[in-house]
Amino acid sequence: MLSLEEYLKLPLKERFIKLDKAEEERAEELHKSIITIDLHSHILPDEDFIVPRIKNSGVTGFVEAVAAIHENFQKSMDELGYLMQRSIKHPDFMPAFKVKDFKRAKKEGKIATMFQLEPQTFGKTLDNVDVAYGLGIRMALLTFNTRTYAGDGCGERTNEGLSYVGIELVERMNKVGMLIDLSHVGIQTTLDTIETSKDPVIANHVGARALHPQCKRMKTDEELQALAEKGGIAGVSAIPNQLSNKPVQGIDDLLNHVDYIVNLIGVDKCAIGLDNVFEDQVEYHRQAAKTVFFLDRTGQELNAPYMAGIESPEEWPNITRGLVSRGYSDQEIEKILGINAMNLMRRVIG
């Protein structure tokens, strides 16, 4: 197995799934022509040298996470202001507030960025939901592994459901048209939220716990089925050591989770939310595990050093290639990579 440093020296195409000529042409044309959306990202750059790598992804739009390290609402809004300014002023990016903005980005050759809060930082002040919405937030987590005023996270000792504050928070997010993300949320809080919400909800960077029972970040069949029955969708992530605990991990693990979710709840309910970055993700998690992530409480073990074939957003075309190689039709691929996300956004956000 190559080290991460050796792997990253490989030309991009050498990291991709091998296809025959016809499949190659089909995958390249498909990835170029369809609207693709990454439902959970950390891609907006501080430096312009990252931009070509983002453009190599060929992705139409990203849902960018705001304040992944902050537990303070004001600091989150400060971070949002900075990221929004980058999206507005940079010639290659544009902010997205509705589905039409992703379509416009595709037409104009720009990269759309919609913003979500991670972790949930509204606290007990429900008016913060309106403030965040007014400043551009269109999606937010209810918890981040641990307990909040809303309910338990997936890494909590207990498995309690929504609190009264949580119920009111769900209702307020429904009222303003903000999509609720259940990616780091505990099982009972997930089920309670799905039942309480008048709108469909999303788990935008997860996987199937049936394939990795040890990891509490993954969603159980019960959660996935409840999500789908309410009209929601599940986005499959690409974070090392979340989809598997094998020493070698990569694009096949992502595709295995896609296959499982499609077989369980249908091709209309599956999407992609990679949650990956351009840096050394495993080292980042190793350091962050000591603070906000509490990886030991979520069942993650840092066994694999990287995700071969989908280590960063730059390798996004390999998802299209992988779906082609596994026999998905063009229509099914278009749904998984973009249409399902847009259909849910249109229903909740507009």
Q: What is the CATH number of the domain that holds 140?
A: 3.20.20.140
Nearest to 186 by CA among 232, 145, 233: 145
Residues paired with 65 in a beta bridge: 116
Query: What are the Cα distances from residue 49, in Å, to 38, 42, 46, 199, 208?
Result: 21, 15, 9, 40, 35
Whether the Cβ atoms of residue 196 and residue 142 lie closer than 8 Å to each other: no
Nearest to 270 by CA among 317, 339, 178, 173: 339
User: Which residues of the chain have a pLDDT value below 70?
Assistant: 68-71, 120, 290-293
pTM, two decimals, is 0.96
Nearest to 228 by CA among 340, 89, 70: 340
Whether the Cβ atoms of residue 215 and residue 256 lie closer than 8 Å to each other: no
pLDDT of residue 285: 83
What is d(CA 156, CA 294) in angstroms, rounded to the nearest whole number? 10
Q: Is 307 helix (H, G, I), strand (E, B) or coil?
A: strand
What is d(CA 339, CA 197) in angstroms, rounded to the nearest whole number? 22
Structurally, how many domains does the chain consist of? Answer: 1
pLDDT of residue 20: 98
pLDDT tens digits along 137-187:
999 999 988 888 999 999 999 999 999 999 999 999 999 999 999 999 999
Cα-Cα-Cα-Cα dihedral sign, residues 311, 315, 316, 318: negative
Range of the domain at 295: 4-348
pLDDT of residue 68: 59
Running DSSP on this structure, what letter comes out for residue 338?
I
